[in-house]
Each structure stands twice: as structure tokens, then as C-alpha cells.
């Protein structure tokens, strides 16, 4: 019979702390299925998200800590994840979706949709179940970026998302003919967004990335007052005019009690593919400075790279087309930082953020 005890193993694992949650993995309930046989120790570490940016570090630290116990001859650690999120019981809006995330910008032209698409794919790359809602009613671009030409199916009165690259996707672009403008007033925008929130069969999702239109108008108010958002990501470019508008978008979410999960600085710099020289075309570092000033997380810097534009135009985003590229790794890091932020909020804070009441005014 092994001299190694369960108590000794758990005490060793208490040395392993999650750097974001600031507690050890035993206290957090991450250690599952512990077994000890003839000096061989097996257990599972169940994280709060498959996109955890420190999962390899936690596994290695756990192996070292247990391996140092006298009498241990081997350590077998299995890493799994059970994404935490809001309570899903009795949810009429987005039932089955644990973490609805709005991706927003104060102005157009900053690469918000490109960021939303690649961020959703990066979360999916980690093993999470992910949906993508293109809520830009007037200018839906997600179908082009993902190369989708089909229409969604129906089951009863519910729309079935189109699936592409492991994502479940819904967009106004699926419901209109090519080159047809959406000339709608506020109430019609409100109605279609309400349908996307209540009549789409998303199934069980860890994350639903919602690509908002730019600005702070009807669509944004409808989403923030109706959807139980876990939080919002603000996309900006480094120059002052973009940052000024980003602050307005951030203020809107703060006003309606939707947590700002962080700021992403897009088009942060250009790296010449020939000489490797870095050029800061729009300036640099404004997103990080603004995040520090406003005391919100800074999620990362995405450079200007031809592969990002090419992927969006040909329907194969860079995270899919070249997942090992430097820019794809940036998106994966941003996704990891976002997932970590959500995990902290879902463990330490309330799991649902309903937003404060807003009077919706139609045109």
C-alpha cells in the first residue's frame, strides 16, 4: 500500500495558486478525481475556461509540487475546463449562453468586426463552444469575413445559426439579398435584434461574441437593455480621435452597468514583411494609456498585417488560415486575457449583469 496520502497531495497542491483568482487550486475546487496507487498519483485540474492563459503553468506547477512528495513515483495530470458564466435558469434572452460578450467601438473604421471574428475564432481554438452574432444591422460584414453564402434553417419558429469553422453564426446578412440596403427606422432594428436574442437556437455556448455596430445608437441600447451581457470589449486605434470616441462607448456601457472587460488597440503598428522594421502609422500606445487612465484592463495590441485583410476578404480569417502566425498568437493572447477576466468576474462577482433600465426612444 502506498505511503502517499490524499492529505499530503492536497497540501502540496495548495502551493499552486491561480494568478488571476489569487487563490490555490484546492480552495477553488479545481482538483477533481484524485487517486493514489503504488506511488502513482492521478488527478484532474478543472479550470473555469478552456482559454485559460496559464493552464500549462498550473499543470507544470502541480506536477512539480506533487512529484516532490516522498514516495511519489509518478504524477498524471489531466487538464479540463468547465466554463463558468451567468445562471442559465429561466433565461428568456439567450438561454443556454453562459457569457454573452459585446464587441463595440465608438466609431467606424477601427476594425471592430475583424476583431470580433478573430476573437470568436480564438476562443473556439481553445476548445470553447462559441457563437458569433453580427448585430450590425445596417452593415453586416461577418458573412463575407467567414465566407458564408447560405441562409439559416428553421425548426418551428426558431432560426438555426449557420455553422462555419466551429462557430455558430447569425447575421442580418443571411436574411437579405446581396447589395440590398437595410433602410429601417429604430423600431424595426429593435424588433430584429429582439428576434436574434429570443428566436435563434444557439444551443449551449460558453461564449457568444456580439459584433455591435459602431457608435451608441438604437442597436447598442437595445442590446445593452435586453441581453444579459457578461461584459463588453472596446476596440480602438491609437490616434486621439478614435480614443475619444472609444471613451464615449465605454461610458455608455458603464452607464447601463455592463462591465467593460477591456480595451483592444487595433492597427497598433505596422511590421514591414521585407525589412522587419516597425512603423507606428497611427501612433502607438494610446489604447494602453487610456485603459490605465480609465482603470479598465488592456487586452492587447493587434498590428496591421496584410494577412488580416486578406483573410477577411477571402472568407478565411487569419486565426483559421494560419493559426501559428504571429498575429494569430496575438488574437489567442487577447482571447486568453478576456477569458481570464470573465473567469475572475464569474468566480468573485455576480454572474449576471442585467443593466439598468433605459427608455428606448424610436425615430
What CATH number has the domain spanning 6-81? Answer: 3.30.300.130
| CA–CA dist 322, 214 (Å, integer) | 28
Reported confidence tier of residue 178, pLDDT bands at 50, 70, 90: low
Contact 269, 276 (CB under 8 A): no
Contact 352, 88 (CB under 8 A): no
Mean of pLDDT values over 299-313: 91
Q: Is the pLDDT of residue 361 over 50?
A: no
Nearest to 208 by CA among 173, 256, 249, 167: 167
Mean of pLDDT values over 61-67: 96
- The pLDDT of residue 356 is 29
Reported confidence tier of residue 18, pLDDT bands at 50, 70, 90: very high
Percent of the chain with pLDDT over 90: 49
Q: What is the mean pLDDT of the chain?
A: 84
CATH H-level superfamily of 97-348: P-loop containing nucleotide triphosphate hydrolases (3.40.50.300)
- The pLDDT of residue 353 is 31
| CA–CA dist 5, 41 (Å, integer) | 10
Instruction: Summarize pLDDT for 96-121 with one digit per residue, the tens.
Output: 899 999 998 877 788 899 999 999 99
Mean of pLDDT values over 275-287: 76
Reported confidence tier of residue 9, pLDDT bands at 50, 70, 90: very high
CB count within 10 Å of CB 273 equals 9
- The two domains 6-81 and 97-348 share their CATH topology (first three levels equal): no
- The pLDDT of residue 24 is 95
| CA–CA dist 260, 105 (Å, integer) | 12
**Pairing verdict, β 231-236 and 97-104:** parallel
Q: Is the pLDDT of residue 182 over 60?
A: no
Reported confidence tier of residue 190, pLDDT bands at 50, 70, 90: low
- The pLDDT of residue 350 is 44
What residues does each domain of the chain span?
6-81, 97-348
- The pLDDT of residue 233 is 94
Instruction: Summarize pLDDT for 208-227 with one digit per residue, the tens.
Output: 999 988 776 666 777 777 78
Amino acid at each position: 500500500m502506498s505511503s502517499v496520502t490524499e492529505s499530503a497531495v492536497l497540501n502540496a497542491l495548495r502551493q499552486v495558486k491561480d494568478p488571476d483568482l489569487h487563490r490555490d487550486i484546492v480552495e477553488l475546487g479545481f482538483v477533481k478525481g484524485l487517486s493514489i496507487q503504488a506511488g502513482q498519483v492521478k488527478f484532474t485540474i478543472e479550470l473555469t475556461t478552456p482559454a485559460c492563459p496559464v493552464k500549462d503553468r498550473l499543470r507544470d506547477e502541480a506536477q512539480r509540487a506533487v512529484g516532490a512528495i516522498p514516495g511519489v513515483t509518478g504524477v498524471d495530470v489531466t487538464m479540463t475546463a468547465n466554463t463558468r458564466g451567468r445562471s442559465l435558469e429561466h433565461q428568456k434572452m439567450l438561454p443556454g449562453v453562459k457569457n454573452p460578450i459585446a464587441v463595440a467601438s465608438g466609431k467606424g473604421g477601427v476594425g471592430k468586426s475583424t476583431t470580433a471574428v478573430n476573437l470568436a475564432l480564438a476562443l473556439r481554438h481553445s476548445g470553447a463552444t462559441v457563437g458569433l452574432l453580427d448585430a450590425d444591422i445596417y452593415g453586416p460584414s461577418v458573412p463575407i469575413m467567414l465566407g458564408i453564402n447560405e441562409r439559416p434553417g428553421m425548426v418551428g419558429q426558431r432560426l438555426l445559426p449557420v455553422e462555419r469553422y466551429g462557430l455558430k453564426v447569425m447575421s442580418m446578412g443571411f436574411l437579405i439579398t446581396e447589395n440590398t440596403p437595410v433602410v429601417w427606422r429604430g423600431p424595426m432594428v429593435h424588433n430584429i435584434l429582439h428576434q436574434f436574442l429570443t428566436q435563434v437556437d444557439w444551443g449551449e455556448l460558453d461564449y457568444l461574441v456580439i459584433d455591435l455596430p459602431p457608435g451608441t445608437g438604437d442597436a447598442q441600447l437595445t442590446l445593452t437593455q435586453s441581453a444579459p451581457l457578461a461584459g463588453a470589449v472596446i476596440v480602438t486605434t491609437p490616434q486621439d480621435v478614435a480614443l475619444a470616441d472609444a471613451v464615449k462607448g465605454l461610458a455608455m456601457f458603464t452607464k447601463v452597468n455592463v462591465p467593460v472587460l477591456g480595451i483592444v488597440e487595433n492597427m497598433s503598428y505596422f511590421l514591414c514583411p521585407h525589412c522587419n522594421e516597425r512603423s507606428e502609422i497611427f501612433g502607438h500606445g494610446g489604447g494602453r494609456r487610456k485603459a490605465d487612465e480609465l482603470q479598465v484592463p488592456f487586452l492587447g495590441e493587434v498590428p496591421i498585417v496584410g494577412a488580416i485583410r486578406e483573410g477577411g476578404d477571402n472568407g478565411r480569417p487569419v486565426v483559421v488560415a494560419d493559426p501559428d502566425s504571429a498575429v494569430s498568437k496575438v488574437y489567442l493572447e487577447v482571447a486568453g486575457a478576456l477569458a481570464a477576466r470573465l473567469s475572475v468576474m464569474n468566480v468573485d462577482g455576480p454572474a449576471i449583469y442585467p443593466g439598468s433600465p433605459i427608455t428606448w426612444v424610436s425615430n
